[in-house]
Every structure is written in C-alpha cells, then in structure tokens.
C-alpha cells in the first residue's frame, strides 16, 4: 500500500462485502483487470486482496452469516492517527458504532461508524511497518 494512503485523513481502502466473493473476483478481474491474492484471516476464512499491478487497492470479503442482515456494499476506510481517540470523538459528536474497535494482526486497528447524517464509514490506524 502506498504511504500516501497511510496519512491521517486519506481514504485508504475499499472493501466489497458480498455473498459471492468468487463471482465478484471474476467480474472485477474481467472488467477492471484487478489481480487477486488470497490472504488467510485470523479465525479462519479467506480475504481476497485486489491489486492494480502490484499495488493493493482494496479487498473482497465473503460475508459471514452474522453480517447477512447488511446489504452487499463497498465499504470505505479512512486512515486516522489514533482510531480509539477518533472513535471517541465521533461518538461524542453523534456517531454510533456499527462494529466495535478491533485489531487485525499485520494490518491495524479499526472500527465502523454511522455518522450523524446516517452514512457508514470505517476508520483505521495501520500498524507501523519497519
């Protein structure tokens, strides 16, 4: 991932959350030309990383059963300097948590919010890379 996407305030990742990851991989591979790379998820399952050339640009998540009530959608992530602090500020400002803060080893810490006007957005603080 480009360093520019890891700057505070930058949109840094898009993720398709779908019931048919294989169909989505084929569709976007054919239409956009994205390459895919399988990544094992902590706790099981496969996450598909989408690449434009050798640059990761997004991902495809096969929705687990507990997400079945959510519509199929593209989720957007914004990089923040301190996700815990920014989530606290967001909830104080009228946002509600959709998913609680959680860590993805090797990636970072994130949460999903619904802002005061009803839009859903995810915030992420990436792990520092050496």
CATH number of the domain encompassing residue 100 = 3.10.180.10
Looking at residue 2, what is its pLDDT? 52
Looking at residue 12, what is its pLDDT? 93
End of a domain among 50, 69, 88? 69
Looking at residue 55, what is its pLDDT? 92
Note down the domain range covering 17: 1-69
Q: Say whether both 96 and 56 belong to one domain.
A: no
Burial of 98 (0-12, 13-18, 19+ CB in 10 A): middle
Q: Say whether both 84 and 65 belong to one domain.
A: no
Name, in order, each residue with C-beta under 8 angstroms of 98's C-beta and a sequence gap of 6 or more: 112, 113, 114, 120
Running along the chain, 130 residues long, what does each successive block of 10 average in pLDDT? 73 95 97 95 88 94 84 95 98 95 92 96 90
End of a domain among 69, 89, 106? 69
* Three-state SS at 65: helix
Q: Are 22 and 89 within 8 A, CB to CB?
A: no
Q: Say whether both 130 and 93 belong to one domain.
A: yes
């Amino acid at each position: 991932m480009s360093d520019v996407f890891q700057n505070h305030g930058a949109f840094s990742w898009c993720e398709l959350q779908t019931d048919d990851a294989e169909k989505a991989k084929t569709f976007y591979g054919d239409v956009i030309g994205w390459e895919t790379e399988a990544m094992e998820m902590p706790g099981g399952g496969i996450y598909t990383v989408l690449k434009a050339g050798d640059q990761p640009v997004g991902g495809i998540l096969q929705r687990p059963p507990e997400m079945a009530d959510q519509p199929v959608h593209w989720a957007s992530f914004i990089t923040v300097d301190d996700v815990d602090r920014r989530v606290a500020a967001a909830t104080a400002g009228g946002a509600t948590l959709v998913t609680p803060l959680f860590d993805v080893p090797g990636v970072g810490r994130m949460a999903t919010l619904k802002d005061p006007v009803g839009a859903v957005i995810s915030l992420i603080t990436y792990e520092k890379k050496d």
